[in-house]
Chains A and B, each alone.
Chain A
Amino acid sequence: MQRVVFPNKILPYVLVAPQIVLTIVFFFWPASQALYQSVMREDPFGLKSGFVGLANFSAVLSDESYLNSLKVTVIFSASTALLSMGLALLLATAADRVVRGQTFYRTLLIWPYAVAPAVAGMLWLFMFNPAMGTFAYILRRNGFYWDPLLNGNHAMVLIVVAAAWKQISYNFLFFVAGLQAIPKSLIEAAAIDGARGTRRFWTIVFPLLAPTTFFLLVVNTVYAFFDTFGIIHSVTGGGPAKATETLVYKVYNDGFVNLNLGSSAAQSVILMAIVVALTAFQFRFVERRVHYG
């Protein structure tokens, strides 16, 4: 169908201009610079730079600490997504079950969405800092040696918890929407056939939630990859001993602290590739969902 449109010739260009200008200046130019720098190497004084081909990439990919941070990122993202989605699903099914007070519960459960990741990290640090945190004190009193500032695993647990806490609201809202979209007739039919609550959940509700779950998995992974910089910077600073240095934190650290431009740019390009892959994955999946939806 041919849409009805306005006949103006110049006006549409004026209308798209602001966004296109911003996009070129702040997206395409920097992205192309990252690509360019990723194949160049500057001398230590920053006086001249030469073409080095893919040397930066091979240096990055064979770098022990980069592989370590890749591992850290995968562990961090997977734990954050699982913890947050698990809790959110539990709460969403509970909210779906209760008769009264849904709005009240929802009102309180969406708070963390509005808290900045960096602040979320600090809130948990206030409670679990070995020097002043009440919970760290309780753990110590009970004989558990807790020190996220020295023990890498403890630090990882702390940032996972803070990151998952912040993401509960988001996952909760989507699971609630997903649960509401499941036709009640299906569940009633199962109930008539004699399936009890748990059985109904695993054989009907959970499979029908799969699109929501997959979607959230991608979103949570992207979140854990990119939006958690604030948590890591404010809670652990990538430490102790790089135990919580994720890929994005490393790009920042190598670019702005260690001033290794070529390596930082190569890492940026790899990150872009990861985002593109994740987005493409999500779009293919969204298309499929429309088919079955």
Chain B
Amino acid sequence: MIERRPVSNLIGHLMLILGILIVVFPIYYTFVASSLTSTEIVRPPMQLIPGGLLAENYGEALSGGVERVVGVSLERLVLNTFVVAVAIAVGKIVISFLSAFAIVFFRFPLRMTFFWMIFITLMLPVEVRILPTYKVIVDLGLIDTYAGLTLPLMASATATFLFRQFFLTVPGELVEAARIDNAGPFRFMRDILLPLSKTNIAALFVILFIYGWTQYLWPLLVTNDSRMNTIIIGLRKMVDFADASTPWNYVMVTAILAIIPPVMVVVLMQRWFVKGLVETEK
């Protein structure tokens, strides 16, 4: 610290508090709305202190309120999203770990070809090839399945790349020592590489869980059956500003439930999240 200037410190705090107001307010607003009646929500100005219907709204939305609107229960939407997010995160980590392991710790023909095949996919987000990818899913009969929701999002280069960079820093002596002790590749992976990669895996998990949870375009395309929707698609279907009968209190409850789980993951695993974010992108 160069100068001790209380004024500058104070301005810093004020700016941050203002920033937090901007950042958190939309979520707070929705939270307040989730504790009001539908009529209170649509009659502006809406009050900014939580009302008394918090427990009722959440209880009713969970016990059939949402189901009557979009034909699928709220628990089911949360469960689907959870399954999709975890499957994408775990699947990506496993396949990337294995392929990076092969590329770094083995020498075999086509090794670099494989590396470049994986690397080039960095450049092709789902959004630019939606129609043909959708067709593949249709041809494979994966519409309305968890596999269809997750598999196309699992293959990506970022995680492979991160593991590769990390494996390259593992000293060759460790591999040599393992080989002298007669440990095969799997033993080496389980007893040496996996423990060393723990923080990387935790960091990737947070990033990929959020990635999976927040998917929109892909679930929108590959689910026709509302029981396979993710919570975000379900929420989108409930929101209808033109329809007077939209149950806004349930909409707000659903929105809050779509926000809280990933926010909890980010906040509770903050240390790994920040590390993972700053390091994956570099």
User: What residues make up the interface of A, taking CB atoms closer than 8 Å to B?
Assistant: 1, 3-6, 8-9, 11-13, 15-16, 18-20, 22-31, 33-34, 37, 87, 90-91, 93-95, 97-99, 101, 105-120, 122-127, 129, 131-134, 136-138, 149, 165, 168-170, 173-174, 177, 187-188, 191, 197, 215, 219, 226-227, 229-230, 233-234, 248, 251-252, 255-256, 261, 264-265, 268, 271-272, 275-276, 279, 286
A166 CB to nearest B CB, Å: 9
Known: A117-B216, A132-B44, A173-B278. A25 touches B136 (CB 8 A): yes
CB atoms of A271 and B232 under 8 A apart: no
A sample of 12 more A-B contacts (CB under 8 A), given A87-B22, A99-B9, is A5-B105, A6-B175, A18-B99, A98-B16, A106-B270, A107-B267, A114-B262, A114-B265, A115-B214, A132-B248, A168-B19, A256-B221
B213 CB to nearest A CB, Å: 7
Docked CA distance A131–B236 (Å): 18
Of the A-B pairs whose beta carbons lie under 8 Å apart in the complex, a sample of 7, sorted by A's number, is A94-B15, A113-B210, A118-B236, A126-B252, A219-B281, A251-B128, A256-B221
B186 CB to nearest A CB, Å: 9
CB atoms of B236 and A94 under 8 A apart: no
State whether the Cβ of B55 lies closer than 8 Å to any Cβ in chain A: no
Q: Which one of A108, A197, A251, A272 lies within 8 Å of B123 (CB-CB)? A: A272
Docked CA distance A90–B125 (Å): 31
- Find the A residue at minimum CB distance from B188: A6
A residues less than 8 Å from B136 (CB atoms): 25-26, 29-30
Q: Which one of A11, A19, A127 lies within 8 Å of B185 (CB-CB)? A: A11
B216 CB to nearest A CB, Å: 4
Docked CA distance A28–B157 (Å): 13
B192 CB to nearest A CB, Å: 12
Docked CA distance A5–B104 (Å): 8
Stretch at the interface among B57-65, B66-74, B107-115, B195-203: B107-115
- Find the B residue at minimum CB distance from A225: B127
A residues less than 8 Å from B204 (CB atoms): none
CB atoms of B44 and A19 under 8 A apart: no
A residues less than 8 Å from B1 (CB atoms): 99
Q: Which one of A16, A137, A265, A275 lies within 8 Å of B102 (CB-CB)? A: A16
State whether the Cβ of B129 lies closer than 8 Å to any Cβ in chain A: yes
CB atoms of B241 and A129 under 8 A apart: yes
State whether the Cβ of B208 lies closer than 8 Å to any Cβ in chain A: no
B residues less than 8 Å from A31 (CB atoms): 124, 129, 132
Docked CA distance A107–B42 (Å): 32
- Find the B residue at minimum CB distance from A129: B241
B residues less than 8 Å from A94 (CB atoms): 11-13, 15-16, 19
CB atoms of A18 and B29 under 8 A apart: no
CB atoms of B2 and A234 under 8 A apart: no
Q: Which one of B20, B95, B103, B255 lies within 8 Å of A105 (CB-CB)? A: B20
CB atoms of A275 and B12 under 8 A apart: no
State whether the Cβ of B273 lies closer than 8 Å to any Cβ in chain A: yes
CB atoms of B259 and A115 under 8 A apart: yes
User: What residues make up the interface of B, taking CB atoms closer than 8 Å to A?
Assistant: 1-3, 8-9, 11-13, 15-16, 19-20, 22-24, 26-27, 29-30, 33, 41-46, 94-96, 98-99, 101-108, 111, 114, 117-118, 121-125, 127-136, 151-152, 154-155, 160, 172-173, 175-176, 179, 184-185, 188, 210, 213-217, 220-221, 232, 235-236, 239, 241, 248, 252, 255, 258-259, 262-263, 265-267, 270, 273-274, 277-278, 281-282
Docked CA distance A279–B123 (Å): 7
CB atoms of B266 and A22 under 8 A apart: no
Docked CA distance A30–B217 (Å): 16
Docked CA distance A101–B3 (Å): 19
Docked CA distance A236–B89 (Å): 31
The 7 A-B pairs of least Cβ separation, nearest first, read A137-B44, A230-B216, A22-B155, A116-B214, A30-B132, A15-B102, A114-B262
B120 CB to nearest A CB, Å: 8
CB atoms of A114 and B210 under 8 A apart: yes
- Find the A residue at minimum CB distance from B125: A226
A245 CB to nearest B CB, Å: 14
CB atoms of A23 and B121 under 8 A apart: yes
Known: A22-B95, A116-B216, A165-B22. A123 touches B44 (CB 8 A): no
Q: Which one of B11, B108, B155, B214 lies within 8 Å of A9 (CB-CB)? A: B108
Q: Which one of A91, A110, A276 lies within 8 Å of B15 (CB-CB)? A: A91
Docked CA distance A110–B235 (Å): 23
A93 CB to nearest B CB, Å: 8
